[in-house]
Amino acid sequence: MQDLVEDWERKLLVFARTLEEWMTCQRNWLYLEQIFTTPDIVRQMQNESRLFQKVCNSAFAWMKKKKTVTRKSFEEVRDL
């Protein structure tokens, strides 16, 4: 029984770490999105803004296809 408990403890620890990293990634993405969608920054950093938007669109298309996240759920991380 102890082996089973330890196995589950390891699995839950990996899950918790993964979730923490995912939330950190989402927070950072939201922060960068605010920067790269500001009209002034878009004008000054056109290539970087286009690249950010392209990556953003690709990431959301992939997540939508995998049904892992919606735009609303991604933005809700801000409140955590």
Task: Decide which of 71 and 43 is more confident.
Answer: 43
* Percent above pLDDT 70 for the chain: 82
Domain coordinates in residue numbering, the chain: 2-79
Whole-model pTM?
A: 0.63
Q: What's the CA gap between 47 and 42, in Å, rounded?
A: 8
Q: What is the Cα gyration radius of the chain?
A: 17
Q: Is the pLDDT confidence value at 79 over 70?
A: no
Measured at the CA of 67, the angle between CA 28 and CA 15, to 5 degrees, comes to 60
Q: Is the pLDDT confidence value at 30 over 60?
A: yes
Report the pLDDT averaged over residues 36-53: 93
Closest CA to 68 of 6, 25, 7, 33: 25
Q: Given the structure tokens 């620890």, which residue do they identify?
A: 13
